[in-house]
Amino acid sequence: MSLNRDHAGNFARVLTESLPYIQRFTGKTFVIKFGGNAMTDPALFESFARDVVLMKLVGMNPVVVHGGGPQIGALLDKLEIPTNFVKGMRVTDERTMDVVEMVLGASVNKEIVNSIHRNGGRAVGLTGKDGMLLTARKLQASSFEAHDMGQVGEVASVDTDVLHMLGRSDFIPVIAPVAGGADGKTYNINADLVAGKIAEVLHAEKLMLLTNVEGLLDRDDKVLTGLSTRQVEELIADGTIQGGMLPKIQCALDAVKQGVSSAHIIDGRVPHAALLEIFSDEGIGTLISNKSFA
């Protein structure tokens, strides 16, 4: 069957318009936090896998960090283990930590790896424990109104040896945000924070955080983009950024301040959201960088 001429023309146009972005970003590292609806919708899940496979094939170095809150919650409910949240963070006792490690390090991680393989890529699943990629420390209770969060941690250090090795190969790292501490305990770390720290130490071109919203919204519910770090700090100070978006934006802000070229809060509910953000000037979410957009 012959290819429809209009379809062929559109296809060729898309390819040629992508070329400048491919040339610009070849050899660059992109750290992508994968979570939200994109993880629970099968079509979006496969769409994301195809995105990172294509990125790798054209010479970019994607690094995937994933969450898994809904999957953790479902298994905790099945096991009748109660769950408590403080400021959006799951209090993680010893029993909960066992479930978190099993779901993130085994079930969810391997599902992402297998999806990348189904779509023609090669991936390696890791937790922060593998190759001592991440070292954790206990998150201070003072950050959560004196609540003891149990085995909730933050990133103490990142050893990039494994990531550099994989970056020089055909493999895409897929990282679960679980890490060991110097005290011998295992810690559950927010995936956004892990993605941000990894982006910092790899001097990534972009940190991309997939969310369940269009991006950072102003008081009129319009998406804000093209923001400098100074503008973001002003939005935090005047209360425009608050609630569940605040830690995500703070993570992006810290990464940019530490040398990441740009951070993007993008809508993971949109098919091929990662590619749309990379291969267009407009993008589909909120862009934060050290560049002045005034």
CATH code, domain with 48: 3.40.1160.10
96-102: long-range contacts (C-beta < 8 A, 24 or more apart)? Answer: 96/150, 96/151, 96/188, 97/150, 97/151, 97/186, 97/187, 97/188, 99/72, 99/75, 100/72, 100/178, 100/188, 101/127, 101/178, 101/186, 101/188, 102/75
What pLDDT score does 50 carry? 95
Establish how many alpha carbons lie within 13 A of residue 46's alpha carbon, considering only the half-sphere containing its beta carbon. 5
Asked whether residue 10 is domain-assigned, the answer is: no
Contact 52, 124 (CB under 8 A): no
What pLDDT score does 85 carry? 84
What is the distance, to the nearest Å, from the Cα of residue 140 to the centroid of all Cα atoms in its chain? Answer: 23
What pLDDT score does 5 carry? 64
What pLDDT score does 59 carry? 94
Q: How far is the C-alpha of 99 from the C-alpha of 14, rounded, in Å?
A: 44
Asked whether residue 280 is domain-assigned, the answer is: yes
What pLDDT score does 134 carry? 97
Count the domains in the chain. 1
Nearest CA to 35 out of 103, 120, 102 is that of 103
Asked whether residue 8 is domain-assigned, the answer is: no
What is the full DSSP assignment across 88-110? TEE-B-HHHHHHHHHIIIIIIHH
Instruction: Name the β-bridge partners of 263.
Output: 207, 288
Range of the domain at 62: 27-289
Does the pTM of the predicted model rise above 0.75? yes
- Which backbone phi and psi does 196 adopt, to 5 degrees? -65, -45
Contact 241, 232 (CB under 8 A): yes
Nearest CA to 292 out of 214, 248, 229 is that of 229
Q: With a cut of 50, list the residues of the chain below it in pLDDT.
A: 1, 294
Asked whether residue 21 is domain-assigned, the answer is: no
Asked whether residue 248 is domain-assigned, the answer is: yes
Instruction: Name the β-bridge partners of 211.
Output: 267
Asked whether residue 4 is domain-assigned, the answer is: no
